[in-house]
Amino acid sequence: MGDDETARHPTGVTAGSARGVLVTLALAQFVMVLDQAVMNVSISQLVEDFDTEVTTIQAVITLYSLVMAALMITGGKCGDLWGRKRAFRLGLVVYACGSALTAASWTVGTLALGWSILEGIGAALVMPALAALVAGNFTGKARAGAYAVLGGVGGAGIAVGPILGGWVTTNLTWRLVFVGEVVLVAVILVLARSLEDAPVERRPQLDLVGALLSASGLTLIVLGALQSGTWGWVQPRNAPVEPFGFAPTLFVIAAGGALLYAFTRWQHRRARTGRDPLVRLERLRIPALRSGLVMFLAQNTVLLGLFFILPLYLQIVQGYDAFETGLRMLPVSVTMLATSLLGARLAGRAGPRRVVRVGLVVILASCAGLLSVLEPQIDTTAFLVTMGVLGVGMGLIVSQLGNVVQSSVGEDGRSEAGGLQNTALQLGAALGTALIGAVVVGALASSFLAQVQDNPAVSDATQAQVGIQLEAGVSFVSEPQARAAVTAAGLPPAEGDALVAAYADAQLAALKGGVLLAAGIALLSFAGTSHLPGAGRDESDGAAPAGDGPAPAVA
């Protein structure tokens, strides 16, 4: 059956073909999220290979998530325009081209083009279509189970990435991961022939102005968060401009907010004049949809923020290589996948709201554990247990949200809901890396300067020089690199030892500050759970009525 032919009704899918469909979509989900974890665990090697700094690689990682976040809604609309299966396959081809360029990249620029931009564009086409294809190929409890599996596989991809990428990076080269992705995409494209897709009955208009406004607004907000560690929030540090004597950070974020406001006004105007908006904003009045999106945003902000912090601790502070780092983060993968599968069963008894809230409590417990284990001498057993606890909390959350979001809209809203869902996910990933990363870098600078100024072993001249250097920026380096720097500066041994010790203490304080911020975000996100479905409500097929109006509120 060709792409344009009418697909069989989902209930006509046999058990055998359903397994094949789930394998195909799960493989695609795994590939889409693998990169972020691979890059995080390979930060040190990327810095060395491209002769750059941690903050530069942080920007490349953030750009990948940002491109996806900015284009997800547009990608979902393309699925409505071309057909979800066709958008899924086209996105895979673009993604494979980006992976091939990433594997061959020779500068940071080509790395960003292949990984951040081309792969980001490909994923923006694949992921909304993937979410909608699940809804089109499964019904009832099978749909809820499929979303739980994909949530678990997505989380496992984020967590397996460190050990897979770590082993390849340590023993071979990180580039082989991207070669492997090209091969996996080819396999998925062959398997994708079994996917069923509803025919395109009406081709919507593509709102290019809305796409530009939403992408620009999101970009400026994330850019401001990313650069806050360098520019400062209010008091300017190493800023390119100083409007009214302040750091440009809040001005950039405010400009992004203004563009998003203009986007909402433009969407309402298109809807009033009978033209297709990029997003039917009235859907956000659906309480379950709104809560699901908020929780996707919060969950990925916390997860990707921690996955930026932890490799820094393991590699820079503890001196582990990429493979050793991956091994110590493996428990997240195991417990997240296992718990996500269990969570699908728990939803029918306890309800998504209670399961998600329990997950948040478990995440807060894991953050408390991290604050106790991020020490100069790592307690490996305690660290592994804490990673396992983190995976349990994340698994409980991801097992619920995909089905809640897709079941809150009708068939005509599947692609749009998928675009919103993945926008929330990738915006969370971008903010997690950018905001928490920026807070960590900013805290490193302020803590280091404070410790140097309070240390009587450091001369006034050296204190002044440290302050000047910090104005130009600061980065995470290992203790041997820090010691080599003070030796090269010709400082007396006692003064050099004091500076190295102060820097090491500042690193740990900064990392713990990042964990505290992640815990704060998790705590605040409890407010977003209020409209998730409670116990006794079957949301597996409880979609909103087809059309533009909001669904009834779900208590």
| Integer Cα distance of 416 and 547 in angstroms | 12
Residues 6+ apart with CB under 8 A from 152: 336, 337, 338, 339, 340, 341, 395, 398, 399
pLDDT given at position 158: 64
Q: What are phi and psi of 43, to 5 degrees?
A: -55, -50
**Would residue 409 count as lying in a domain?**
no
Residue 158 within a domain:
no
Amino acid at 175: R
Q: Is 141 inside a domain boundary?
A: no
Domain span at residue 220 reads 207-277
Cα distance between residue 386 and residue 323, in whole Å: 19
Direct distance between the N- and C-terminal alpha carbons of the chain, in angstroms, rounded to an integer: 42
Q: What is the mean pLDDT of each run of 10 residues along the chain (555 residues)?
A: 39 57 84 72 76 77 78 79 85 93 89 90 86 73 73 67 73 84 91 72 76 87 76 77 85 92 91 83 84 90 87 85 80 83 73 90 95 90 94 88 78 69 78 80 78 73 64 65 75 79 85 93 91 64 35 28
Q: In sequence order, what are the residues at sequence separation of 6 or more whose Cβ sits closer than 8 angstroms to the Cβ of residue 466?
A: 448, 449, 452, 458, 499
Does residue 226 lie in a domain region?
A: yes
Count structural domains, the chain: 1
Structure tokens given for 154: 């997505």
484 assigned to some structural domain: no
- The whole-number pLDDT of residue 258 equals 95
- Please list, in sequence order, all residues whose beta carbon lies within 8 angstroms of the beta carbon of residue 26, skipping any fewer than 6 positions away: 149, 150, 153
**Euclidean distance between CA atoms 237 and 421, whole angstroms:** 36
Nearest one of 297, 230, 224 to 440, comparing CA atoms: 230
Q: How far apart are CA 100 and CA 175, in angstroms?
A: 9
Residues 6+ positions from 340 with CB-CB distance below 8 Å: 148, 149, 151, 152, 155, 395, 396, 398, 399
- Report if residue 251 sits inside a domain: yes
Residue 364 is assigned to a structural domain of this protein? no
Q: Does residue 234 belong to any structural domain of this protein? A: yes
Long-range contacts of 235-239 (CB under 8 A, 24+ apart): 237/445, 237/470, 237/471, 238/471, 238/472, 238/473
